Chains A and B, each alone.
Chain A
């Protein structure tokens, strides 16, 4: 009698799962993991593309988690079922409606900005925010002119905000590669008390900023 041997290829043939242990290699993000574990460019670009198509949906789900709202609760607030919320959060940004976004924002008590169009470069984004800051600072200055109490409060706020801006610049500047630099940020705090000088970054050119 003729015998036929049938070889079945199963999923398990890909590798026998034996005892696994943690590798000890830790990554701070999926992007970092993919770099470190040698994931191919094709897979990395597919992940990136998918995340770009679901960026708003993911952020809405993040807001819901941060507010401690379940999908069921969110469904009730939006007059939808839990499964509709699950589907919405698993969908693409293009499928979202403004009403749904608005519903999430009302439920979580957050405020968001939506931008459409070509992404801004970092430089353009910084300029855009700087113009926004200028408009708000001017509005505060106008308020300060109306009332003496407000003037004191706005003055204090300007001083604090100015110090914070400088600190942010100083911290970011420190992340630049070490080397010759034409730029230096030095801050001098002037008060009624004896002068104290704090040099935030070493360098050649000096500019004194009065707070």
Chain B
């Protein structure tokens, strides 16, 4: 059964979005819920397709705010799914403007995870 594991950065971002952009946070969490259902249904986590889902370099997936009513700011929830441990890592949340830096940040997170450095504190 797939599980969700937040990162220390995601916890900080969640607090910021909770105060400043709660609707955007709700939108990406609703899309995370859909993503988890698709993941459960699908045989291959890398083949998921949805309008709110973007495949980024290094296996990182960005979930946006689409499908949620209202005029929301472009927002991305960056995640990484590990098939072996059936874990979806929540890495960070960012806006469209921060996209490039956020993807680099996520790639580093994934590299640490793969090398075994990104262990639980």
Contact = CB atoms under 8 A, between A and B. Distances in A.
Answer whether A and B are interacting partners.
Answer: yes
Interface of A: 11-12, 14-15, 17-34, 37, 39-40, 42-43, 46-47, 50-51, 54, 58, 61-63, 65-66, 68, 70-71, 86-87, 89-91
Contacts of A28: 1, 3-4
A21 B121 contact: yes
Given A23-B6, A86-B51, A30 B67 contact: no
A18 B11 CA distance: 13
A37 B37 contact: no
B14 A62 contact: no
A12 B49 contact: no
Given A12-B98, A17-B9, A65 B51 contact: no
B49 A43 contact: no
B27 interface: yes
Contacts of A86: 49-51
A46 B120 contact: no
Given A62-B41, A86-B51, 17 more contacts: A11-B98, A15-B12, A21-B119, A22-B6, A26-B5, A28-B1, A28-B4, A33-B6, A39-B29, A43-B29, A46-B23, A47-B26, A50-B27, A50-B30, A58-B34, A65-B49, A89-B51
Contact of B97 (A11, A17, A23): A11
Nearest to B26: A46
A20 B109 contact: yes
Contacts of A22: 5-8, 89, 113, 118-120
Contacts of B102: 17
Contacts of B94: 11
A85 to B, nearest CB: 9
B61 interface: no
Contacts of B67: 50, 54, 90-91
10 contacts: A21-B118, A23-B5, A23-B120, A28-B3, A31-B33, A50-B26, A62-B41, A70-B49, A86-B50, A86-B51
A58 B33 CA distance: 10
Given A62-B41, A68-B43, A87 B51 contact: yes
Contacts of A47: 26, 29-30, 33
B22 A43 contact: yes
B36 A40 contact: no
Nearest to B90: A33
B22 A26 contact: no
Contact of A24 (B18, B32, B68, B120): B120
Contacts of A91: 67
